[in-house]
Amino acid sequence: MNTIIKTSSRILFPFMLVFGIYLALHGHMGPGGGFPAGVVMATGFILLVIAYKERKIEHSFNEIEFMDIKTIAAFTLMIIIILGVVLRFGLVSTQVPFDPWSGGVTLSSNILGSVVVATAFVVIIYSIIKE
Amino acid sequence: MLTFEIWSFVSVIVLIATGILTAITGLKRKHSRGAPLVAIAGIITASVFVILTIPDVWGGKILSFQMGGWIAPFGITIVVDMLTLVFSLLIVGIGLFATVFSYKYIKNRRPEFYALICLMMAGLLGIVHTGDLFNLFVFFEISNVSSYALVAYYRKRHAAEASIKFLILGSLATSMILLGITLVYASIGTLNMADLVLKMPLATGFMIPIALVFMLTGFMFKAGIFPFHFWLPDAHPAAPSPISAMLSGVVISTGVYAVLRVGFIVFGALSTMLTILMFFGIASMLIGAVFAILQNDLKRMLAYSSISQVGYIVMSIGLGTSLGLVGGVFHIVNHAIIKSLLFLCAGVIIYHARTSDMAEIGKRIRFGPVLTYAFLIGVLALAGVPFLNGFASKWVIYLSTFEFSVLLTIFTIVISVLTFAYGIRAFYLIFVSGDGAPEHKTPRSMLAPIIILAVICILIGLLPQIGIAVSESMCSGLDPVVYAGAVLG
Amino acid sequence: MMAYLTAVFMILAGITAIILRDNLLKKIIGLSVFSNGLHLLIISIGYRTGGIAPIMQGSNAAAFAQAAVDPLPQALVLTSIVINTSVVALALVIAIEVHRHFKTLDMRKVKSLKG
């Protein structure tokens, strides 16, 4: 991959992560939410993996670590949703427009969901590319 | 603290959580000793929740519960009646047997296997518990995607090919369901099943029958009925044997369940739909039985046999009489038990013989008495021999076809004779002919589910009145007026 | 109207690709195009001409309900996009397996199972 792609992907990478976090945090107040945020963050990582040969990337992140993060995040998401249903935190019904702290479980479920999705896609595409 | 009225829905959540937990136990290493135990514990917990709900719905009552406090028809409704509960017991029970069986059967205990089984069971339980079309679609997809991954579990030639064909056809089928749901929403405006009962007679136009056709296509794909059965003979043998037991036993039954719920409750029992079901059922019976006799491979023969038995069920439902409905529903339960018994026996056979060609197996190994009797019970029950459970449901089916036309009864009996033929041929090739080395010891965890299933076959066969009474109360929940009244109040 | 036509065209193009093309990857692309066309169809059913996005602003519920676009198809499509992405990812992994065993991606040659 030539220098233009390498340099531009290296510059774009933090912006994509920030955009993904923004989408995750504003999920209940605008378009977005867990899933698109995860996809955007995953695309940031995959852009790096494609631009550089993976031998250089391999020492930067470890595939097993990403799978661990994914399962732990998925499990925490499950626990929080169960607790939310059990203890009757509202999901959407207590929502006040434009107030980021209302909406009960929605905020944490967005963040955790985006982490799950991002790590899952990175693992999948990384293992496909490694073949 | 918990004010659920329906405890059995908690089983879905428990199973999803178990699936994730099982995946966690395999965090740092590829093999895991703890994964199957976590899975079994989770399945037992889920079955406890299902069993807790039995006294509430016994006798044909329908419970409903709105998720998140939104009143019907705006929220998602969980509806539990006898039909749901019997299916849940089947799913949880056969899932438990399959997981216990795979404790010794699957060599490298990867945690993904057990996580996928738990997720598939959660998806199937969700299908039978829901009262909302969109929720049905979501859980349908969950169980389908888990089964695509499970069919491809062995990284072998036939598994990869079967799985990719299954995947592409299955995604097309669930997209058909989505298209049907879209058309229903576009013409009526709501997706809650009970609400659709109220609003369906007011809907005019050509979109409703087209929507029904699309949705039935998707459901009949999953059930393995005639024009959509082509994935079945490749996918069921390619999967590991406990997964084949679940696929042939429970996943197919859930497809028929979806046909029942959507066809009978949402759309009313249109006579054209019933005619289509009957014709496709007849075709499936014939094709399944004929191809099953031609097979030399044990699991492929059992897969074609599943197509044939589902043809029985669908033909009986398509007759339109209440007797036919009872017979069909009873046969779903019986076939699930018999087919899982047969596939688990096939698992033990292949575990010892290392091949699935029936003549080869007969030449290589001589089997012990437990397996022989269990397989014999399964084959006889499949054919409908008296004193076993297959006879009770098939007798009801014969009676209902007799009301329709005598030719149909003769045809059904001929197919039963064919069923007996391929069953006994399999039994003869594997257990009677030739003599080989005596088998090595079979692990107890693999024999126990087989023995329990065989005993259940005999029990239901000796007490058919209980089975028929249960089936009648299952069918009482399929009346649209009763359903809508119970859900919407 | 244009949205409906585009959606139907994408659905037909996707189905044609799945049926007529021999290469497995082209079939998977056809599956993806088909499902995206279906999603476009679903969203355009819920569209109201000149409507606003279904995020509540201000506190007048009745006027908001009159002006907003229908949010239920959007929720349906969001779920379906997630599911279809996972299915395509799974399909790609299984396609790698198929290639490993059969050394080709031509589906006419992948026929080891008979009967």
Which subunits have 3 or more CB–CB pairs within 8 Å of chain A?
A: B, C
Chain A residues close to B10, C-beta within 8 Å: none
pTM for the predicted model, two decimal places: 0.89
Cis peptide before B73 (omega within 30 of 0): yes
**Is the minimum CB–CB distance between A101 and chain C shorter than 8 Å?**
no
Compare all CA atoms of chain A with the CA of C74 and give the residue at the minimum distance. A31
Instruction: Chain A: give the shortest CA distance to residue B23, in Å.
Output: 7
Q: In whole angstroms, how far apart are CA B119 and each of B16, B46, C85?
A: 6, 12, 18
On the 0-12 / 13-18 / 19+ scale of CB atoms within 10 A, B451 is middle
Chain B residues close to A85, C-beta within 8 Å: 68
Question: Hey, where are the domains in chain C?
Answer: 2-48+68-102
Instruction: Chain C: give the shortest CA distance to residue B295, in Å.
Output: 8
**Is the minimum CB–CB distance between C97 and chain A shorter than 8 Å?**
no
DSSP structural state of residue B387? T
Residue ranges of A 60-89 with Cβ closer than 8 A to chain C? none
Cβ atoms within 10 A of the Cβ of B254, count? 26
pLDDT digit of tens for each residue in chain B (489 aa)? Answer: 344 556 667 777 777 777 777 776 665 555 566 677 778 888 888 888 888 777 776 766 677 777 666 666 667 778 888 888 889 889 988 998 988 888 878 777 677 788 888 889 888 988 988 888 888 999 999 999 999 999 988 878 888 888 998 999 999 999 999 999 988 888 887 888 878 888 877 777 778 888 888 999 999 999 888 888 888 888 888 888 888 999 888 999 999 999 988 888 877 777 888 888 899 999 999 999 999 888 888 889 999 999 999 999 999 988 878 888 888 889 999 999 999 999 998 888 888 877 778 877 777 777 778 888 888 888 998 888 888 888 888 888 888 888 888 888 899 999 999 999 998 888 888 877 666 666 666 777 778 888 888 888 888 888 888 888 888 888 877 777 777 777 776
Tally B–C CB contacts below 8 A: 92
Chain C residues close to A113, C-beta within 8 Å: none
Q: How far apart are the first and last CA of chain C?
A: 47
Chain C residues close to B156, C-beta within 8 Å: 101
- Measure CB to CB from residue A75 to each of B13, B21, B68 and give the nearest one: B21
Instruction: Chain C: give the shortest CA distance to residue B159, in Å.
Output: 9
The Cα–Cα gap between B245 and B345 comes to: 10
Chain B residues close to A68, C-beta within 8 Å: 27-28
The string of DSSP codes covering B247-300 is IIIIIHHHHHHHHHIIIIIIS---HHHHHHHHHHHHHHHHHHHHHHHT--BHHH
ipTM field: 0.91
Q: In whole angstroms, how far apart are CA C30 and each of A102, B193, B230, B302, C12?
A: 42, 32, 20, 33, 10
**Is the minimum CB–CB distance between A91 and chain C shorter than 8 Å?**
no
Mutate to test the interface with C, among B175, B191, B192, B298 (most CBs of C within 10 A): B175
**Token couple for B485:** 């009244």
**Is the minimum CB–CB distance between B218 and chain C shorter than 8 Å?**
no
Mutate to test the interface with A, among C57, C76, C82 (most CBs of A within 10 A): C82
If one counts the domains in chain A, the total is 1
Question: Hey, where are the domains in chain B?
Answer: 10-488
Answer whether B118's CB lies under 8 Å from B19's CB: yes
- Give me the domain span that covers residue A57: 3-130
Q: Does domain C2-48+68-102 have CATH number 1.10.287.3510?
A: yes
Residue pLDDT, tens place only, B288-309: 999 988 888 888 999 999 999 9
According to DSSP, the residues that pair with B132 across neighbouring strands are B192
CB contact under 8 A, A97 and C93: no
The proportion of chain B whose per-residue pLDDT surpasses 70, expressed as a percent, equals 90
Residue pLDDT, tens place only, B339-364: 999 999 888 888 887 777 887 777 77
Compare all CA atoms of chain B with the CA of A63 and give the residue at the minimum distance. B28
DSSP structural state of residue B237? H
